[in-house]
Amino acid sequence: MFSLFPIILFIINILIKVNIRNNEPSEETKNKWHNDPNNWIWGIFYYNPEDKRLFPPKRIKQMGFTINFANPNSVFFTVIFILILYIISTHIQS
């Protein structure tokens, strides 16, 4: 059986790239959002209704991307991803 993990990573990579091209705010706006402590719940969860990006950078940008919990699409993709992982794990165990 082949692994679905590379396929899932490929799909996530495409979603991030499409999202970056379609909803690219100005650099000044991104920095303002990123540095505003009101957009970070407990310092780790990004919640900004003005930001339409699905996966903005984490608070420490070198650490990758996070989910914008104010965007329903990013929450939807996260739930789908978790369901896919659950289905794969239960399939592997049986």
SS3 helix, strand, coil % of the chain, rounded to 5? 60, 5, 35
Whether residue 77 contacts residue 93, with contact meaning beta carbons closer than 8 Å, is answered with no
Instruction: With beta carbons less than 8 A apart as the criterion, state whether 92 and 71 touch.
Output: no
For residue range 21-79, what is the model confidence (pLDDT) as tens digits?
Answer: 555 677 788 778 887 889 889 988 889 988 887 888 888 878 888 888 898 888 888 88
Q: Calculate what percentage of the chain has a pLDDT beyond 70.
A: 84
Domain ranges of the chain: 11-93
Residue-level pLDDT at 23? 57
Amino acid, single-letter form, for residue 30: K
Instruction: Name the pLDDT band for 1 (thresholds 50, 70, 90).
Output: very low
The verdict on pTM exceeding 0.85 is: no
Encode pLDDT of 67-92 as tens digits: 888 988 888 888 888 888 888 888 88
Residue 15 CB contacts under 8 Å (≥ 6 apart), including other chains: 54, 55, 77
66 and 55 Cβ atoms separated by less than 8 Å:
yes
- How close are the terminal C-alpha atoms of the chain, in Å? 13
Q: What is the pLDDT of residue 29?
A: 81
Residue spans of beta strands (DSSP E) within 6-85: 40-41, 45-46
